[in-house]
A and B are shown apart, each in its own frame.
Chain A
């Protein structure tokens, strides 16, 4: 079935540093791809999505491009802030009807001033 492999953390960066969190996927066909973010003590929030190859999802300064050739959907941000400290999850639909989401293990990001 569909699966994702996500760069394991934790990742610690200084404020204004460049961020990359790697995500590669294995899938039948070309499913939508998602990045979710989980702030401490909270549920998951959808950060961005892409629906087809070469699509770029973007939100709050974060970007990810759906790369069919490399089966990747890496998350990037040019200049991180302390408020970006959270756990980031890559996800894609899976299962018989593609109803469920399969998530990566998550990457914990800590940004220090």
Chain B
């Protein structure tokens, strides 16, 4: 399967703990995106990479959040000192450089902060 993969699929943590999620995009895709989706809402943009460069960050991405894509392939999203409000589905997507910005999404990581 050459789709976008995310790990873990589910994460339960206690408030104040740090968590890290991984995303593996479609191999030839240069662009990688992170979104957050809360219950009953559409996904909201968090950040965007073109190859290894992080080019755009949403205001939603507080200083407790950090994302990396060190070699332009997989990406990680870390949340430090988690809060209950961080509970959500974290979605990763990838796309080709240029074109229509047709983004392909992974299955998501569901985070529950107790």
Point out the residue from B35, B42, B101, B106 that lies within 8 Å of A106, measured CB to CB. Answer: B42
Q: A32-B100, A51-B100, A105-B41 are in contact. Are A100 and B105 (CB under 8 A)?
A: no
Please determine whether A99 and B31 come into contact, CB atoms closer than 8 angstroms. Answer: yes
CB-CB under 8 A from B105, the residues of chain A are 36, 43-45
* A37-75 interface with B by 8 A CB criterion: 42-46, 49, 51
Q: Is A97 an interface residue (CB 8 A)?
A: yes
Residues of A within 8 A of B35 (CB): 101
B101 adjacent to A43 (CB under 8 Å): no
- Contact residues in A for B65 (Cβ distance below 8 Å): none
Residue contact A106 to B31, C-beta cutoff 8 Å: no
Contact of A89 with B by CB under 8 A: yes
Q: How many A-B residue pairs have CB under 8 A?
A: 64
Q: Which of B44-65 contact A (CB under 8 A)?
A: 44-45, 48, 50, 55-56, 58
Instruction: Kindly state the separation between the CA atoms of A54 and B43 in the bound complex, as whole angstroms.
Output: 27
Report Cα–Cα, A51/B73, bound state, in Å.
28
Contacts of A93 on B, CB cut-off 8 Å? Answer: 101
Select B56's contact among A36, A45, A100, A106, beta carbons within 8 Å.
A100
| Cβ < 8 Å to B, chain A residues 59-113 | 89, 91, 93, 95-106
Which B-chain residue is minimally distant from A6 (CB atoms)?
B42
Kindly report which residue of chain A lies nearest to residue B108, judged by CB atoms. Answer: A43
B18 at the interface (CB under 8 A from A): no
Q: In the complex where A43-B105, A43-B106, A46-B104 touch, is A99 in contact with B56 (Cβ < 8 A)?
A: yes
> Does A25 sit within 8 A of B, measured CB to CB?
no
